[in-house]
Homo-oligomer: A and B are copies of this chain.
Amino acid sequence: MARRTADIPTLVSRARDGDQRSVARLITLVEDDSGQLREVMSALSTYVAPDRTAGKGAQIIGLTGPPGVGKSTSTSALVGALRSRGKRVGVLAIDPSSPFTGGALLGDRVRMQDHALDKGVYIRSMASRGHLGGLSVATPQALRVLDAAGCDVILVETVGVGQSEVEVASMADTTLVLLAPGMGDGIQAAKAGILEIGDIYVVNKSDRDGALQLRRELRSMMSLSQRAESAWRAPIINTVATEKDGVEELLDAIGAHWEHLHSSEELQRRRLQRARVEIEAIALASYRRSWRGLAGVGLDDLASQVVAGALDPYAAADALITG
């Protein structure tokens, strides 16, 4: 297993030609925070896909929403519809890093296996913990690899509702918020803050009781939260992902949002924001790494003093910073 050092230029070149194994290998290199991560990043950063307008790249679509609304099924349906339109598609499924990750809980990933042999689809699961900088460091790197591989669209599917969803939303060009009838009332969904992050709302399982009411509630809450400065009015699309109902309409809405992003300043604004978050996360991870190693004024010593009441946490942070 003399697999120590990868030949990055060759891998990047093969990934650009759409070789799935090279794409997978590159994502592993960036995900594991390997010694070659910087080399990969440097090789990818200046890349512009030859058949695309410079600087535009893949449309990154985030899918979020409470557990059980059908995110995996919707992702799979979108992949199918995008492939029918001849698009090259990447899928990043952000799973919590759990003792289960390798096993039982991959159950619903199985649905994606419809697409496993399709050369125009790249599917990758990523753990949300584990990487030192978390999602905010690992995800953008993986997106960059998929972008370089010539994906037209990258679907990023997240688990749960919370901080990590807000983080992922800040990485997406277009954020889909999925809801379904009977998942708890509208007020609860809004509490999770998801009414602020959606570019498109999807009422999945629309063949169930309560779909109409959910749509009505959504509409009325959105009219309250509508950002005045935005020219984009988030549509609500009804789907039944298991039957592929509404998926074409959803794709049209996704396309319309992409048009909007290009015709306004919004695409550039979002990508700048994404880059800011990414750079900060990398810098913070770098500090964090160095703090773990410090003796005397190291994090562990300072924490002991805070617990003992000998130091307040702000004074401890000062000591950490000044080293």
Contacts and interface: CB of A to CB of B under 8 A. Distances in A.
Interface in A70-95: 95
A307 B272 contact: yes
Contacts of A188: 67-68
Interface in A83-136: 95-100, 104-105, 107-108, 128-129, 134-135
Identical copies of this chain, number: 2
Nearest to A44: B312
B287 A283 contact: yes
Contact of A41 (B129, B268, B314): B314
A35 interface: no
Contact of A67 (B37, B55, B184, B304): B184
Q: Which 8 A-B pairs have the closest CB atoms?
A: A162-B162, A68-B184, A45-B312, A96-B193, A163-B163, A67-B188, A282-B317, A275-B303
23 contacts: A42-B312, A42-B314, A46-B310, A48-B309, A55-B308, A98-B191, A98-B195, A99-B224, A100-B224, A105-B191, A141-B313, A159-B193, A162-B164, A162-B165, A163-B163, A182-B182, A272-B300, A276-B303, A279-B317, A279-B320, A282-B316, A283-B320, A286-B317
